[in-house]
Structure 1
Amino acid sequence: MKIIAHRSGPTLFPEQTVASAEQALQDGADLVELDVRFTADKAVVVCHDSNAERVFGDKRKIGEMTETEFSALRHKNAPAYSAHRFTDYLQSSIKPLLIHVKEDDVLPLLIQHLNDYRYTDSDVVFGIGNSEAVKTIRALRPNAQILAFMKNADCAESFLQVGANYIRLWEDWLTPDTKPFSVPTWIMTNGSEVGVTTEENLRRILSLHPDGILINDVRMLNNLME
């Protein structure tokens, strides 16, 4: 089973930073997840939210900032850490990556960056919320690994038809009657909040034998699995 560090594993370091990603890999994560968006001048940057308020204390939308303005942001609760561009991760050679693509238009430039830094198909899983975008990826990288970030479980078939390699389910979608898909299934924890859950809930998830779990606290999951 794969352990995926949700938002790069923000336990000891701020979310979606090189520091948190490196720590997550040291703690036993199999992949590091990050979210990517465009700035106003079409730079690929790392941020989960559409605006910078929660993480950086700035109410502006990411898509309204320039790359320079975004890069100048500091984490609200840890000002020693700045906002990251996608290339900051690539320059640090952090891999494997689960890249949650928040804006489909970013895909061609995103893949160009991956090619420039020689990230192979085995180094990257693309997290996609729109089954049509799978076709775009396949045209640019025919052997890409793709995770379906579905809005609901009923969307699975549309992703499978276009060749998704993995299906993501939310923890609170799971029931004793949840049936396996024809491809590996990864579970996103969301107990008290996204990426966070209890040990009891984790044991329940593990009892269903998922192929992967996305979680903030990689150590917590590893300890339960020992």
Structure 2
Amino acid sequence: MPNHGQSSMMSLAQHLAGQPRPLAIAHRGGALLGPENTAATFRAAASAGAALVETDVRLSADGALVCLHDADLTRVTGDPRRVAELDLATLRRLLPGLMTLDEAIAASQPLGLLLDVKLSDAVVLRAILARIDAAGAGARVLLGLRSLPLVAAARHVAPDIAILALAGDPCSAPEARRAGAGWFRLWEADATDARVAAVRAEGLMLVVMVGQPRDSALPEHPPFPVGQIDAAGIAALMRLSPDAVMLDDPRLLIAAREAAAPVTALSSS
């Protein structure tokens, strides 16, 4: 079992100390800044002022941990084959900018790194944790997990890692906290005052993911693709005071944040 040393949850807060809130998380590395989930786009997100970059983790046919959002390559290459059916060499031929997890950990420095783990296998989870540990990156990694059993499994294996619950149920903050999460994701459309208050009541850090419609019945507020938002949406989120916002273009949040006063900083405690 990896030795994760001092508290990574505490260390992540320390790593982010002094960063103004809401923290800007560049979704898929900053998908409106360049090709998604690539080292070049990570660099663009850093230059734009993001505090963290988010990337996705999947498993290739030959066991490589790779950073791809979709289960197949249809959207990004036109090839309908699944990531899990292709070996790393084939994936690299089809997507020259593809990063392995190790490469993403290195390329994200010195930013925080949110890993959206698209896998549900606890054995693979252990492999991911081992790569984080081998890179000495636990202090700046936020592990995004999509089921409460996997949150509990990660907490058991790595008592100190910072975990974001990517829960399907926006009302499951109490269960996420009990499973071991320290952060909780709400979709933009689910981020009501009541749900935000419920997340706060559990002592969880709140991440809002943009892209779901606020009110699709209103023509002035049409649905947005995942990761995208307009100025009105940003303004509404700022009023909720989330700890972080995940979006394709972190510059939108940073501009709104800089226009607001006073600016608060993320505590290291």
Fold conserved (TM > 0.5)?
yes
Q: CA deviation at 1:12?
A: 2.7
- In the alignment, does 2:169 pair up with 1:148? no
Aligned equivalents of 1:194, 1:90: Cα separation in 2: 24
Is the contact made by 2:116 and 2:145 (CA closer than 8 Å) also made in structure 1? yes
Aligned equivalents of 1:178, 1:137: Cα separation in 2: 25
Aligned equivalents of 1:141, 1:177: Cα separation in 2: 31
Aligned with 1:42 (options 58, 63, 79) = 63
For residue 241 of structure 2, what is the aligned residue in structure 1? Answer: 209
Aligned equivalents of 2:153, 2:91: Cα separation in 1: 27
Aligned with 2:153 (options 113, 136, 143) = 136
**What is the number of residues matched between the two proteins?**
219
Is the contact made by 2:33 and 2:249 (CA closer than 8 Å) also made in structure 1? no
Instruction: Give ranges in structure 1 of 5+ residues lacking alignment.
Output: 75-80
Residue type of the alignment partner of 1:114: I
Aligned equivalents of 1:177, 1:119: Cα separation in 2: 35
The alignment-based identity, stated in percent, is 30
Question: Deviation digits for residues 153-204 of structure 1, max 9, x if unmatched?
Answer: 1332221111210110000112344442221211000141111011101100
Is the contact made by 1:71 and 1:85 (CA closer than 8 Å) also made in structure 2? no
Aligned equivalents of 1:165, 1:179: Cα separation in 2: 14
- In the alignment, does 2:251 pair up with 1:219? yes
The TM-score with structure 1 as length reference comes to 0.91
Aligned with 2:118 (options 102, 116, 119) = 102
User: Where do 1:72-221 residues align within 5 Å?
Assistant: 72-74=93-95, 81-92=96-107, 94=109, 95-105=111-121, 106-120=124-138, 122-180=139-197, 181=199, 182=202, 183-190=204-211, 191=213, 192-221=224-253
Aligned equivalents of 1:89, 1:177: Cα separation in 2: 36
- In the alignment, does 2:47 pair up with 1:31? no
Normalized per residue, the structure richer in strand is 1
Secondary structure of the 2:72 match is: coil
For residue 77 of structure 1, what is the aligned residue in structure 2? Answer: none
Is the contact made by 1:8 and 1:20 (CA closer than 8 Å) also made in structure 2? yes
Is the contact made by 2:186 and 2:209 (CA closer than 8 Å) also made in structure 1? yes
Structure 1 residue ranges (4+ consecutive) displaced by more than 4 angstroms after TM superposition: none
Q: CA deviation at 1:205?
A: 0.7
More displaced 10-residue stretch of structure 1: 168-177 or 35-44? 168-177
| Larger Rg, first or second structure (1 or 2) | 2
With a CA cutoff of 8 Å and minimum separation of 6, indicate the structure with the bigger relative contact order: 2
Q: CA deviation at 1:37?
A: 0.5
- In the alignment, does 2:28 pair up with 1:7? yes
Q: CA deviation at 1:93?
A: 5.2
Q: CA RMSD in A?
A: 1.5
Q: CA deviation at 1:109?
A: 1.2
